[in-house]
Amino acid sequence: MDHFLYRNGVLHAEDVAVPDIAAVVGTPFYLYSAATLRRHYRLFADGLEGLPHLVCYAMKANSNQAVLKLLGDLGAGMDVVSGGEYARARAAGIPGERIVFSGIGKTRAEMRMALEGGIRQVNLESEPEMRVLSEVAVSMGKVVPVTVRVNPDVDAKTHEKIATGKKENKFGIPIARAREVYAEAAALPGLDVVGIDVHIGSQLTDLQPFRDAYGLLASLTRQLRADGHDIRRLDLGGGLGIPYERSNSAPPLPVEYCAMVREVLGDLDCEIEIEPGRLIAGNAGILVSEVIYLKHGEGRDFLILDAAMNDLIRPSMYSSYHEIVAVHEPAAGVPLAPVDIVGPVCESGDTFARDRAMPPLAAGDLVAFRSAGAYGAVMASEYNTRPLVPEVLVQDDQFAVIRPRPTFDEIISRDRVPAWL
C-alpha cells in the first residue's frame, strides 16, 4: 500500500491534492510520501526484529537529503557506493557507524574519506582493492572493519543490466575462491575481517535466488569460521522487487523475505545487514507531468508530455514499465484507447510507453508515473538543457520542495568560457 490515492476524483499524496502542488511547483516534478517511506523502512526493521540487524538503505535509489534524514531518524543505516554518497549521508546526520561502503571501484581518496569520517564497514570486491584499503588504513594508523563480497553465481532472473550475482558479472569474488581471499584479507594489517557480503541484483521478483545465495552464505560462514575467521556480520545486499505493473503477479513481500532470512541465516549468531533501496523508495514516489500535446500520427496517437527521458530514464534504459495514470480520475466506464506516451527530447528513445491504453486526455491535463521514487530523480540529467527535475516531499497535509528546479541562468552559469577563447 502506498499513499497516492484518488480522493473525490483527484489524485492525492497523503492529504495533499497533486494539482495543488503542481500549481505551486510547476511540472514535471517528483513527489514523495513521507508516510510511505517510513512504512517501507519499518517493514524490514519489524521483519527482522529479534535478530541483531541493521537496515542500511541503499541510498543510490534516492539520495535526497530530506529522504536520508527521514530514514536516518528512524534508525536506518546507509549503504553508500561513492565518496559523494558518503558525504551526502554524513551531511544528513547519519553517523559513520551506520554507514557501509559498497562498490567495485573505490579510490584511495574515497577510502581516506570514509576512514577519516568513520565507517561501519567497507565491503571489498577484489584482491587489488583489499590491498589498497589495507595500505590506506595503515598509512592513517587505522584498522578498518571489512567484509568481502562473494559472487555466488546464482541467476537472479532479473533485467541483465541489474543482475549482479552471476559469475560473468563484474561484482565480488567467486565464492569458490573465498577461503583463499579471506586468508589474504586476514593477513593484511589494515583490515579487520568481520563478515561476508553478497548482493545478487535488483528488482528480484522471486525469493528462490535469494534463498539459494543465502544458503551458500550460511555454508561459507561455517567454513570460514572453521578456518579461524571471526565471521559475525552478514550483509545480504538489497534487491527485493516492487510491483511496477499491478496486473502482474506481485513480488514477495518484505515480511516473507525477512522470514526466509530468519529461516536460512537466523541460527548463525550473526548480525544481519540488509541494503534495500528500491523497495523503500520506489513506491514512495511518483513523477507528475503535464500533457503538452495530443498528436495524431499515422496509425498511432502520441501523448506528448513535459517530462522526458532525462527526468526518468528507466523506460529507455531498462525497457521498464511504469503505470501512468490521469491525476483527475477518469469516470467509470470511460473508453480507453492506445497511445504512445513520449517526452519532447530529440530521440526516439524518449518513449515512456507504447500502445498504452489510456483514458481521453487533453493538453494541460496532469498525469502521474507511479513507482518512480527509486532510480528516478537520482538518474535525471539536464540533457537538452532541461532543468534538473525538482523533488517535493509530502507529509500529512504539508508539502515542501526538497530540491528546487534550477533556473536557466543557474544552469548556464555553471559553464566557464576560457579567457583565451
- Residues forming the site for ligand PLP (CB under 6 A): 58, 60-61, 79, 81, 102, 199, 202-203, 237-239, 275-279
Prior bond to 28 cis, omega within 30?
yes
- Among 56, 258, 270, 346, the one annotated catalytic: 346
CA atoms within 13 A on the CB side of 294: 13
Phi-psi region of 79 (alpha: psi -120 to 50; beta: other; left: phi over 0): beta
Of 113 and 374, the one with the shorter C-beta distance to ligand PLP is 374
Q: Is 62 helix (H, G, I), strand (E, B) or coil?
A: coil
Cβ of residue 30: shortest distance to ligand PLP, in angstroms?
A: 16
Nearest by Cα to 204 from 242, 256, 150, 260: 242
Cβ of residue 44: shortest distance to ligand PLP, in angstroms?
A: 10
Which residues, in sequence order, are bridge partners of residue 272?
Answer: 53, 234
What is the C-alpha to C-alpha distance for residues 277 and 164, in angstroms, rounded to an integer?
A: 15
Of 4 and 375, the one with the shorter C-beta distance to ligand PLP is 375
Of 108 and 161, the one with the shorter C-beta distance to ligand PLP is 161
Cβ of residue 238: shortest distance to ligand PLP, in angstroms?
A: 3
Of 169 and 351, the one with the shorter C-beta distance to ligand PLP is 169
Cβ of residue 136: shortest distance to ligand PLP, in angstroms?
A: 21
What is the C-alpha to C-alpha distance for residues 315 and 303, in angstroms, rounded to an integer?
A: 16
CA 117 → CA 69, 83, 330, distances in Å?
A: 18, 11, 52
Of 279 and 288, the one with the shorter C-beta distance to ligand PLP is 279
Alpha helices by DSSP H, listed for 176-308, are 178-187, 208-226, 254-265, 278-281
- Respond yes or no: is residue 346 known to be catalytic: yes
Cβ of residue 118: shortest distance to ligand PLP, in angstroms?
A: 20
What is the C-alpha to C-alpha distance for residues 108 and 137, in angstroms, rounded to an integer?
A: 10
The grid coordinates of residue 131 equal: 590491498
What is the C-alpha to C-alpha distance for residues 392 and 113, in angstroms, rounded to an integer?
A: 30
The set of catalytic residues is 346
